[in-house]
């Protein structure tokens, strides 16, 4: 089953065209990694998929629900009404580069807040589930700590726990290790790999090439706002068809 479908997406900031006619499909249980140089449009694509930015043209669908649609002859995409957007927002979670935790909330409250406020679920039910997720993240003993008392790797694991607490159909990771040193990077990638083993549907923007190769079902290489190449990790990393992909991977391996 397709969880996310994006068709013919374009996005500009003033005169700068950041995404150009991009199409992307993510199926249930699939892990898709998006790689490419800085400025290629990877993070903007994720922001458009999660309503942090609005597309100029194209269609976005979550399962059977249209998020944004461009009808034949229309010059711009039209977004669903607020009630539908709220429903669609519950389909996905987003893990940011910079953690974005509430500094004045404990770890447990950071994880519990959205399910209670947004999904209107019972506090006791959410608390039990949140503690179970923190156990899974290796953070059970940090439930009463505040973000400033945690390492960067621990903070990012709280960010992942917060996304999981909403029971999303799909989680987006926007360079989840870019703010971490190599040792802390490893502990976060281990958690994401565990989610992949559990068949969590994920889209991961990453500069960690060995990780993308190991964890992904499909890899997308972007440059200049377009998808240059797409395929299995073996196809993209071992036998890239586009010269631009080969150049990028050569530079990365130097």
For residue 97, CA distances in Å to 93, 146, 172, 196, 207 come to: 14, 19, 11, 19, 12
Mean pLDDT value of segment 182-198 = 89
Using CA atoms of 244, 60, 55, 177 in order, give the dihedral in degrees to the nearest 10: -60
DSSP letter, residue 56: S
Q: What is the pLDDT of residues 44-69, one digit of tens each?
A: 999 999 999 999 999 999 998 998 99
Q: What is the pLDDT of residues 162-179, one digit of tens each?
A: 999 999 999 999 998 887
pLDDT value at residue 100: 86
Token couple for 201: 């549907």
Beta strands in the chain (DSSP E): 2-13, 16-27, 31-35, 57-62, 65-69, 78-79, 92-95, 170-174, 202-205, 218-223, 226-231
pLDDT value at residue 186: 87
Which pLDDT band, with edges at 50, 70 and 90, does 247 fall under?
very high
Q: Which of the two residues, 90 and 9, has the higher pLDDT score?
A: 9
Q: What is the pTM of this model?
A: 0.92
Please, what is the average pLDDT of the chain? 92
Distance CA 90, CA 189 (A): 24
pLDDT at 97 over 90: no
Distance CA 122, CA 137 (A): 22
Cβ neighbours of 56 (radius 10 Å) = 18
Q: What is the pLDDT of residues 133-163, one digit of tens each?
A: 999 999 999 999 999 999 999 999 999 999 9
Which pLDDT band, with edges at 50, 70 and 90, does 253 fall under?
low
Q: Which of the two residues, 38 and 73, has the higher pLDDT score?
A: 38
pLDDT value at residue 157: 93
């Amino acid at each position: 089953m397709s969880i996310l479908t994006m068709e013919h997406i374009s996005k500009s900031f003033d005169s700068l065209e950041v995404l150009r006619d991009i199409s992307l499909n993510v199926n249930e249980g699939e892990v898709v990694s998006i790689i490419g140089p800085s400025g290629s449009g990877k993070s903007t694509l994720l922001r458009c998929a999660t309503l942090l930015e609005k597309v100029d043209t194209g269609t976005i669908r979550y399962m059977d629900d249209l998020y944004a649609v461009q009808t034949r002859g229309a010059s711009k995409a039209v977004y669903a009404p607020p009630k539908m957007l709220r429903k669609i927002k519950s389909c996905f979670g987003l893990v940011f580069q910079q953690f974005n935790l509430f500094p004045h909330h404990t770890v447990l409250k950071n994880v519990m807040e959205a399910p209670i406020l947004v999904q209107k679920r019972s506090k006791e039910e959410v608390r039990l589930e949140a503690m179970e997720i923190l156990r899974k993240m290796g953070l059970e003993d940090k439930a009463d700590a505040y973000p400033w008392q945690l390492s960067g790797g621990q903070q990012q694991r709280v960010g992942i726990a917060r996304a999981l607490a909403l029971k999303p159909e799909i989680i987006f990771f926007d360079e989840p290790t870019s703010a971490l040193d190599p040792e802390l990077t490893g502990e976060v990638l281990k958690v994401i790999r565990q989610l992949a083993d559990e068949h969590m549907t994920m889209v991961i923007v990453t500069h960690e090439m060995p990780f993308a190769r190991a964890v992904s079902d499909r890899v997308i290489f972007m440059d200049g706002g377009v998808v240059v190449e797409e395929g299995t990790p073996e196809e993209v990393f071992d036998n890239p068809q586009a010269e631009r992909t080969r150049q990028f991977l050569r530079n990365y391996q130097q």
